[in-house]
Amino acid sequence: MGEFERWEGRFAAGDYIFGKAPNYFLAACQPLLPKSGAALSIADGEGRNGVWLALQGLTVTTIDFSPTAQAKARRLAEEMGVEIAIHTTDVHAWAYPKAAFDVVVEIFAQFSTPAERQVKWANMKAALKPGGLLVIQGYTPKQLEYGTGGPKELSHLYTREMLSTAFADLHDLHFTEEELEMHEGGAHHGMSAVIGMTARK
């Protein structure tokens, strides 16, 4: 089974598999957000993070390759009374507009191979406006011990060294490494080892 079929199957569940609330690390970044502007949410799935960004007053574009997830994202946006622009696309192949976004968010988008990740991250940086905010959270290698979510391939997991190297051309890099109980729907539940990063272009 390919990645597309696997995620379509997961998102076909009646419930929102990661819940409707935003990722906790993204929500904690609220003081860093501009009062207005454009935001891009990468691999936004069922829309919990994109919808939350729209509730903060931002004009939001979300991208994901799952039509099933995006149908749920549309319903969530309607439920919360906001609009988001949804693009069905492979996040590695999308034509990222240059210097178009004040905020770019990638939360647990760790399906990328190392080669794909390099392309994705380069496009994310290019899409940020000067001074724009980048927010990333992902699992660290220790997550393999917990097994409560995320990829099983070590090469797909994030470390501080990996992020520091990939985003060395940005500034104001801040990292949060944690082991904590996560409760984000049924898919992110239990003790987890994660790393979050914020940075400015």
Specify the DSSP element, H or E, that contains 48: helix 48-55
Model confidence pLDDT, tens digit, residues 73-127: 999 999 999 999 999 999 999 999 999 999 999 999 999 999 999 999 999 999 9
Write down the pLDDT at residue 5.
85
Model confidence pLDDT, tens digit, residues 167-183: 999 999 999 999 999 88
Give the range of the structural domain holding residue 111, as residue numbers without chain letter. 3-200
Pairing mode, strands 188-200 and 171-184: antiparallel
Question: Which CA distances in Å does 196 have to 29, 87, 94, 160?
Answer: 10, 25, 24, 9
* Overall number of domains in the chain: 1
Q: What is the rounded CA–CA span in Å between residue 118 and residue 124?
A: 10
Give me Rg for the CA atoms of the chain: 16
Helix (H, G, I), strand (E, B) or coil at 54: helix
CATH number of the domain to which 169 belongs: 3.40.50.150
State pTM to two decimals.
0.95
Mean pLDDT of all residues in 135-140: 98
Write down the pLDDT at residue 8.
83
